[in-house]
Structure 1
Amino acid sequence: MTDRLFRLYYEIKRKLRYRLLKNKNISIITNNCLGGKLAHDFGLKLNSPIVNMQMVPEDFVKFCKAYKMYLSKDFCEVTNLDNGCKEKFYSVGGGNIDFPVANVGDITLYLQHYQNFEEAKAAWERRKYRIQDKKFFILITKKQGFENVIEDFCKLSIEKKVVLLIDKPYKKEIKNTKCICLDVPLGVHFMDRKKNCFYYYYEKYPFLKWFNGE
């Protein structure tokens, strides 16, 4: 299957998804780049400040608990990367930090896909006002040791939330939260295209049905 054929199929899916989506004025808020990718998949405006950046799961839960408070805080550049900042990034599978990093209160933002801090700050300030009354929150995790974080996430007083597990099912019962294991092979990113297929690994979750409340 050629890349050209895949792109054609992707554009057809994108237009169809947009037509079938009942509410197009939504915010897709994730702890990593998936939110921006899903907005593009559905032809939607980027109604979340967390685009092209990442939070570790623990910080994401804190953000979800009090997002209005965090959005009111200054977006500050981290110029001194201490061991704690580096270890947090390593915990989610990250490597060397050769990109800008920011703090919003006690939350760290890893700005992987921005050329400089000023570009990231401008995007954050522009998009933080777009969070709509109807919100969708997604948590992505793939390593062991996040059980307490998942439990805290499930306790959030947010109706629409889902846990996407990368490679291992969650053994405990999850209440009030949708959960799915994507079964991504070792060494493959969950946002990569599945080999010889017309879809990405994360598309295993039925986002259209979820957004439409089905």
Structure 2
Amino acid sequence: MKRIFKYIYRKSIFQFIRKIVKFKYKYQTTTNNLSIISSNCLAGCIYSDLGKEFLSPTINTFFYAECFIKFCEHLDYYLSLDLKEAKYSKYIDKTDYPVGVLDNIEIHFLHYSSFADAYEKWNNRKKKVNYNNIRFLMTDRDGFNKNIGSRFDLLPGKKNIIFTANKYYLQDEVYCKLEKGIISSDFTSFRKYEKYINIVDWFDEK
């Protein structure tokens, strides 16, 4: 019953509310050149809600935490590589979506039906990355630990964020007290992060 209610809410009330919010956001933001590198669908949700161009290849993807921190620490290197299709994932036995690999890291193309589509979108969007205005986003799930969080704190740029369900006392941490034990899978789809930051101010670096 709970799943049915959530489905109806998402398809009706939530979508109606989001249309109003997106209309408001569109006329509040002034920044147009920000590249968001995110560990999951956060970047895509934020760009879509603010009506901005996707200036990041990490749209509709997710990374396991160790792969993501390596990707962020050596962004130039990994984006210089040609994306290959993984024959299998080292994290899970089977997927119903394509998985890509860049040297020693995996990228899970969760919302893509084929590797060909993922490959095309990845290559088109990685060309648009603005290295002069990058921010990193991640959540404390998919193998996250405090060591990874400490490495995240050392990444360049301002206003990088780790949304956490636990207190790690990190520099870039935004503790989400309503999340229980782990950032929930619907944290992005239901825009729960908006309870903890003003997304327009963050995007415009106010």
Shorter-chain TM-score range? 0.7 to 0.9
Percent of counterpart pairs with the same letter?
26
Q: How does 1:1-214 map to 2 (within 5 A)?
A: 3-79=11-87, 81=88, 85-87=89-91, 89=92, 96-132=94-130, 133-142=132-141, 146-165=145-164, 167-170=165-168, 173-175=169-171, 177-181=172-176, 183-185=178-180, 189-193=186-190, 200-206=191-197, 207-214=199-206
CA contact (8 A) 2:65 2:144 kept: no
| Residue 25 to residue 15, structure 1, CA distance change in 2 (3 Å) | farther
| Aligned-partner Cα distance in 2 for 1:192–1:70 | 28
Offset, 1:159: 2.1
CA contact (8 A) 2:66 2:144 kept: no
Offset, 1:143: 6.7
The alignment's TM-score, normalised by the length of structure 2, stands at 0.83
| Aligned-partner Cα distance in 2 for 1:5–1:113 | 23
Offset, 1:182: 5.2
Task: Provide the secondary structure at the position in 2 that maps to 1:138.
Answer: strand
Which runs of no fewer than 5 residues in structure 1 stay unpaired?
A: 90-94, 194-199
**Cα distance per residue 1:143-175 (max 9 Å; x no partner):** 78611000010011222301101x3232xx323
Offset, 1:5: 4.2
| Aligned-partner Cα distance in 1 for 2:30–2:68 | 27
| Aligned-partner Cα distance in 2 for 1:201–1:182 | 11
**Structure 2 letter corresponding to 1:190:** F
Offset, 1:73: 0.4
CA contact (8 A) 1:74 1:105 kept: no
Q: Once structures 1 and 2 are overlaid, which stretch shifts more, 155-164 or 180-189?
A: 180-189
| Aligned-partner Cα distance in 1 for 2:38–2:185 | 20
Task: Provide the secondary structure at the position in 2 that maps to 1:20.
Answer: coil
CA contact (8 A) 1:169 1:180 kept: yes
| Aligned-partner Cα distance in 2 for 1:208–1:192 | 18
**Structure 1 letter corresponding to 2:203:** F
Q: Once structures 1 and 2 are overlaid, which stretch shifts more, 135-144 or 66-75?
A: 135-144
Please report the RMSD computed on the Cα atoms of aligned residues, expressed in angstroms. 2.3
| Aligned-partner Cα distance in 2 for 1:45–1:99 | 24
| Residue 22 to residue 182, structure 1, CA distance change in 2 (3 Å) | farther
Offset, 1:17: 1.1
| Aligned-partner Cα distance in 2 for 1:191–1:145 | 17
**Cα distance per residue 1:67-108 (max 9 Å; x no partner):** 1111110100112x2xxx343x5xxxxx84222111012111
| Aligned-partner Cα distance in 2 for 1:52–1:126 | 14
